[in-house]
Chain A
Amino acid sequence: MELANLIVIFLFGGLLAWLAEMMMENSARWVSLLTIALCSAYLWRLVGHIPAELFHINPVANQAGTWLMHHQMNWIPRFGVSFELAMDGLSLLLIVLTLFLGVVAVVSSWAEVDHHRGFFQANLLWTLAGVIGVFLALDLFLFFLFWEVMLVPMYLLIAIWGHEGKAHAAMKFFIFTQVSGLLMLLAIIVLVVLSAETLGRYSFSYFDLLQNDLSGGVATMVMLGFFVAFTVKLPGVPFHTWLPDAHTQAPTAGSVLLAGILLKTGAYGLLRFTVPLFPEAALQFAPIAMGLGAAGVVYGAVLAFGQSDFKRLVAYSSVSHMGFVLLGIFAWNHLAIQGAVMQMVAHGLSTAALFMIAGALQQRLHTRDLGAMGGLWHNMPRMGALALFFIVASLGLPGMGNFVAEFLILVGLFQSMPWMAVVAALGLITGAIYSLRLMQEAFQGKPDAHRTLPDFGPLEMTVMIAMVIGLLWLGLYPQPVLDLAQPVINSLTAEVQL
């Protein structure tokens, strides 16, 4: 039941934050921070109780004991649905990222959100609850439930506290994910019905479904149902069009959550479900998937270069960076998957930081237009320096996590598909072009002498420095992260050989 508590803490925390704000002005954000702190402490305790050797054992799919934690209880036995949560190194890593970015999101909403603060923090915490559920659920019904439920608070975050085009952006976000989600639901049900023939009973459990290798045309169709749902969320070309709107219109905290962790649920789904459940179909489909990934890398970069809106530019850069993840996953070898996992974490940090800077700028300048900026370094040197750091991190300068990630993906990819690697490597060059343009237009150039702007305060500096340290750590000493994910990747690649 311990794992479920991680989710329950957030559900109650959200409710508490809402109520607290009604009682006392400005108390909700403290409740949020406390909730995240409580959840982190709880996770720390849980992880502390796990025997150390489990971190080196490859988790075998149908042996619950080899996972870090596993918990199962009956929920809807009528259809073989159980409340099954499990944690391995990959989910642990992503949950830690989620908790960290949760703090970043709360801090970035600190001064920005000026109405209905309690309900805002409640939605923020409920989104986190949904995301943690997605990373833990191993029953496909339960997974789908979290997958859909996390949309609702996210929708409200965009629709209520978003910017000028919020109604349109929030709706687009919801419809894209919901329709692709229904495709996945149908795919899940077909998968369960088909495996019931060999299994003799209905089961939505990941472990049971793994044993049943589908093949042929049905497998491809069912695999596509999963693939589309996850690629929409990732987002991969051509399903990416919701992303620039949603990211641009969301409040800063919403953008941080979207870019930092919600996109990662798509990558996680591909890695955890799509390939392992349908190895054969995924093998046949891999060239197309990688093609979409490479197209995303280049297309995202080209579009990013053409943007004049700070947030839109960062949003398109996400399309480009997540293209690498798609490439890494479908190259399906140790190095490439390591790179993909690394990219998930590093991109989460660097993009969250960039969105936070974008939000801070919008709050001070009331615009996101790059044309109206320029010379901001002069006005706000601390923010300028940090922006430079995160921009070079995101373009993949050695020494930061993003470089390690993209390098690993390219090396892994080169082993399986050299030409794809060549195309994807273009993304590094174009990445440098649009990133540096962002830096130049916003922070360099002639400063406006009449402008006095407040620089980052202590609270914002604290989280920013924490993200700087995180990225440097990932870049200079990535081994602990790689070690944490290694057993999972070992067992994934051992089970499935593409």
Chain B
Amino acid sequence: MMTPTELYALAPFIWLSVGVIVLMLQIAFSRSLNGACWVTNLTLLVALYSMVGHDPAGIQVTPLMRIDALGLMFCAVIICGSVVTSLLARDYLKQRPAENEEFFLLLLLATLGACVLVCATHVASLLLGLELLGVALYGLIAYPEKGERSLEAAIKYLVLSGAASATLLFGFALLYAATGTMDFAILADKLDTIQVNSNPIIVLTAAAFILSGLAFKLSVAPFHMWTPDVYEGAPAPITGFLATVSKGAVFVVLLRWFIDGQLYEFRGIILGLSAVAIASMLVGNLLALRQDNIKRILAYSSIAQFGYLLVVLIACGTLTESIPLAREAASYYLLAYIITTLGATGLLTLLSSESARERDHIGDIVGLFWRRPLLSLGFTVAMLSLAGIPLTAGFIGKFYIFKIGADAELWALMSAVIVGSGLGIFYYLRLVFNMTKNPRQVHALPQQTSLEGRSVLLLLTLLILALGVYPQPLMDYLSAIL
């Protein structure tokens, strides 16, 4: 029996679901892009508002979900990410007239899936959230563009993601066979006895399957092959959504499973994760060097970024005391990454909203600095943040990685971070350099995009700087709630 408190805790999810139904009915009665966009944003804002006043200590609602501070914070971040995406997508879709209203329906469903994911404490809710998110994304990737590239991307994502989900499912089945539980917290106790009593080989196999499945969703090497193609093929706003909301939610649930289930106790898992992390940093950064498509560059860059982030999980294995810091570091890093990537892909969306073509080639931004100083400055800040230059949020994230790496004495990983960052500078700065180049022929001034889109980008830029210049409030907040 569900108590009113528990029901109240579920309010954001309920509101999102209500919004989905309202939007579906609205589309059935009258199609309007603006209408769909506003219903979506209203739903998101109501859901956001319904999170105010929840107990930060957390409450377990059914065995499936735990509505705690970590979950609520990332639900809020996901919802804000969806607001940004929907605002930017409206201009983008206007350039591509078709039956575009269902785009927002899928967006709301994906948001709901991501929110379920970050609150999941049970295998069932994890899979539910993951599939809700994934299935909505298949549609979104192929949605507005009828081109070959986006169809290819969607099919690629569908097939590979399906395979990854199957792997994940098999891993959880094995784990269930070994421990008899699907709840993360109970898993920890069961694993403890297994580690003492018997050979943990079945647990290691299960963990390998599960981690491969999640690694696919996070696109860390060697499960990264799909990323550049899907990023490139997807419409620009969805590239941003995929890179931030989808990956962020998956990492949060990985963090929960990994730490609540105390999987860091297993030496083999830590070793495997270390190899994956180092491979991601090197592969991601090396392959980005020769790309000419900005979306592909961002795709490879995200592979590397998640490589850095895995250090946080690995540190838990070598130094158990660093777990609170690990949660804090992961949250800060993810927040910085999400804001920065939304800003970077936001610029691409804005540019692509000015033409019927995706403007994501490096040649499309040549000379942008002199035509659109403010937008370009925002993009420059985002690039510097991804590169980890001080005064940006990305630097504080990197600082956390170094701090936790130094605490846990992970010297090999730290060297890889340094080498990776050095490589990264090259392609981030290459984009900045191209923006500052003098264009050979001056293009006709492109039409202005809507005020919302530009102010959203400006806001994101200011956030990147604010989190980099004055990080103390967020640090205090994170260390207090986690």
Which residue numbers of A lie inside 8 Å of B, CB to CB? 75-79, 115-116, 144-145, 148-149, 151-152, 155-156, 159-160, 167, 170-171, 174-175, 178-179, 182-183, 185-186, 189-190, 193
The answer to whether B429 touches A174 (Cβ under 8 A) is yes
Q: Chain A residues near B471: list those with CB within 8 A.
A: 76
Residue of B nearest to A159 (CB): B433
Question: How many Å lie between the Cα of A171 and that of B426 in the bound state?
Answer: 7
In the assembled complex, the CB of A159 is this many whole angstroms from the nearest CB of chain B, namely 5
Pick the residue among B403, B406, B422, B479 that contacts A178 (CB under 8 A).
B422
Question: How many Å lie between the Cα of A156 and that of B387 in the bound state?
Answer: 16
Q: Chain A residues near B414: list those with CB within 8 A.
A: 186
Instruction: Tell which of B390, B414, B476 has the most Cβ of chain A within 10 Å.
Output: B390
Pick the residue among A75, A148, A149, A193 that contacts B472 (CB under 8 A).
A75
Q: Is B438 located at the chain interface by the 8 A CB criterion?
A: yes
Please report which residues of chain B, range 399-415, place their CB below 8 angstroms from some CB of chain A when the two chains form the complex. Answer: 399, 402-403, 405-407, 414
Q: Is B436 located at the chain interface by the 8 A CB criterion?
A: yes
The answer to whether B436 touches A156 (Cβ under 8 A) is yes
In the assembled complex, the CB of A142 is this many whole angstroms from the nearest CB of chain B, namely 9
The answer to whether A149 touches B390 (Cβ under 8 A) is yes
Q: Chain A residues near B426: list those with CB within 8 A.
A: 171, 175
Known contacts being A145-B390, A148-B390, A155-B429, is A182 close to B370, with CB within 8 Å?
Answer: no
Q: Chain B residues near A190: list those with CB within 8 A.
A: 406
Pick the residue among A148, A171, A179 that contacts B429 (CB under 8 A).
A171
In the assembled complex, the CB of B340 is this many whole angstroms from the nearest CB of chain A, namely 16
The answer to whether A175 touches B402 (Cβ under 8 A) is no
10 sampled A-B residue pairs with Cβ under 8 A: A148-B395, A149-B389, A159-B429, A159-B433, A179-B425, A182-B417, A182-B421, A186-B405, A186-B418, A189-B403
The binding surface of chain A is classed by DSSP as helix
The answer to whether B402 touches A116 (Cβ under 8 A) is no
Q: Is B391 located at the chain interface by the 8 A CB criterion?
A: yes
Known contacts being A145-B391, A148-B390, A186-B402, is A167 close to B475, with CB within 8 Å?
Answer: no
Known contacts being A116-B370, A149-B389, A152-B389, is A78 close to B418, with CB within 8 Å?
Answer: no
The answer to whether B390 touches A183 (Cβ under 8 A) is no
Beyond A115-B438, A159-B429, A167-B433, 11 additional contacts (C-beta under 8 Å) are: A75-B472, A78-B472, A79-B403, A152-B384, A155-B429, A171-B429, A178-B389, A183-B418, A186-B402, A189-B406, A193-B407
The 3 A-B residue pairs whose C-beta atoms are closest, nearest first, are A179-B422, A145-B390, A78-B475
Question: How many Å lie between the Cα of A156 and that of B383 in the bound state?
Answer: 14
In the assembled complex, the CB of B142 is this many whole angstroms from the nearest CB of chain A, namely 37
Question: How many Å lie between the Cα of A75 and that of B470 in the bound state?
Answer: 7
Q: Chain A residues near B405: list those with CB within 8 A.
A: 186
Question: How many Å lie between the Cα of A145 and that of B430 in the bound state?
Answer: 22
The answer to whether B475 touches A76 (Cβ under 8 A) is yes
In the assembled complex, the CB of A172 is this many whole angstroms from the nearest CB of chain B, namely 10
Q: Chain A residues near B418: list those with CB within 8 A.
A: 179, 182-183, 186
Please report which residues of chain B, range 69-113, place their CB below 8 angstroms from some CB of chain A when the two chains form the complex. Answer: none
In the assembled complex, the CB of A177 is this many whole angstroms from the nearest CB of chain B, namely 10
The binding surface of chain B is classed by DSSP as helix
Please report which residues of chain B, range 451-480, place their CB below 8 angstroms from some CB of chain A when the two chains form the complex. Answer: 471-472, 475-476, 479
Q: Chain B residues near A178: list those with CB within 8 A.
A: 387, 389, 421-422, 425
Residue of B nearest to A166 (CB): B433
The answer to whether A78 touches B436 (Cβ under 8 A) is no
In the assembled complex, the CB of A234 is this many whole angstroms from the nearest CB of chain B, namely 19
Q: Chain B residues near A76: list those with CB within 8 A.
A: 471-472, 475
Question: How many Å lie between the Cα of A331 and that of B422 in the bound state?
Answer: 33
In the assembled complex, the CB of B435 is this many whole angstroms from the nearest CB of chain A, namely 10
Question: How many Å lie between the Cα of A144 and that of B391 in the bound state?
Answer: 11
Residue of B nearest to A79 (CB): B403
In the assembled complex, the CB of B275 is this many whole angstroms from the nearest CB of chain A, namely 21
Q: Chain A residues near B387: list those with CB within 8 A.
A: 178
Question: How many Å lie between the Cα of A215 and that of B422 in the bound state?
Answer: 29
Q: Chain A residues near B402: list those with CB within 8 A.
A: 185-186, 189
Q: Chain A residues near B479: list those with CB within 8 A.
A: 78
The answer to whether A179 touches B390 (Cβ under 8 A) is no
Question: How many Å lie between the Cα of A284 and that of B246 in the bound state?
Answer: 52
In the assembled complex, the CB of A140 is this many whole angstroms from the nearest CB of chain B, namely 12
In the assembled complex, the CB of A409 is this many whole angstroms from the nearest CB of chain B, namely 33
The answer to whether B403 touches A160 (Cβ under 8 A) is no
Q: Chain A residues near B436: list those with CB within 8 A.
A: 156, 159-160
The answer to whether B472 touches A77 (Cβ under 8 A) is yes
Q: Chain B residues near A77: list those with CB within 8 A.
A: 472
Question: How many Å lie between the Cα of A186 and that of B430 in the bound state?
Answer: 26
Question: How many Å lie between the Cα of A473 and that of B438 in the bound state?
Answer: 44
The answer to whether A179 touches B370 (Cβ under 8 A) is no
Question: How many Å lie between the Cα of A144 and that of B396 in the bound state?
Answer: 12
Question: How many Å lie between the Cα of A117 and that of B226 in the bound state?
Answer: 44
The answer to whether B422 touches A182 (Cβ under 8 A) is yes
In the assembled complex, the CB of A173 is this many whole angstroms from the nearest CB of chain B, namely 10
In the assembled complex, the CB of A153 is this many whole angstroms from the nearest CB of chain B, namely 11
Q: Chain A residues near B475: list those with CB within 8 A.
A: 76, 78-79
In the assembled complex, the CB of A217 is this many whole angstroms from the nearest CB of chain B, namely 12
Question: How many Å lie between the Cα of A141 and that of B407 in the bound state?
Answer: 17
Residue of B nearest to A194 (CB): B406
Q: Chain A residues near B472: list those with CB within 8 A.
A: 75-78
Q: Chain A residues near B421: list those with CB within 8 A.
A: 178-179, 182
Q: Chain B residues near A170: list those with CB within 8 A.
A: 429, 433
Question: How many Å lie between the Cα of A186 and that of B405 in the bound state?
Answer: 9
Question: How many Å lie between the Cα of A193 and that of B417 in the bound state?
Answer: 19
Question: How many Å lie between the Cα of A128 and that of B424 in the bound state?
Answer: 26
Question: How many Å lie between the Cα of A75 and that of B469 in the bound state?
Answer: 9
Question: How many Å lie between the Cα of A79 and that of B400 in the bound state?
Answer: 10
Q: Chain B residues near A149: list those with CB within 8 A.
A: 389-391
Residue of B nearest to A147 (CB): B390
In the assembled complex, the CB of B461 is this many whole angstroms from the nearest CB of chain A, namely 15
Question: How many Å lie between the Cα of A330 and that of B193 in the bound state?
Answer: 58
Instruction: Tell which of B391, B395, B405, B422 has the most Cβ of chain A within 10 Å.
Output: B422
Question: How many Å lie between the Cα of A189 and that of B471 in the bound state?
Answer: 17
Instruction: Tell which of A79, A167, A170, A185 has the most Cβ of chain B within 10 Å.
Output: A185
Residue of A nearest to B407 (CB): A193
Q: Chain B residues near A182: list those with CB within 8 A.
A: 417-418, 421-422
Question: How many Å lie between the Cα of A186 and that of B429 in the bound state?
Answer: 22
In the assembled complex, the CB of B293 is this many whole angstroms from the nearest CB of chain A, namely 19
Q: 0/1 per residue, B417-443, Cβ < 8 Å to A?
A: 111011001100110110010100000
Residue of A nearest to B400 (CB): A79
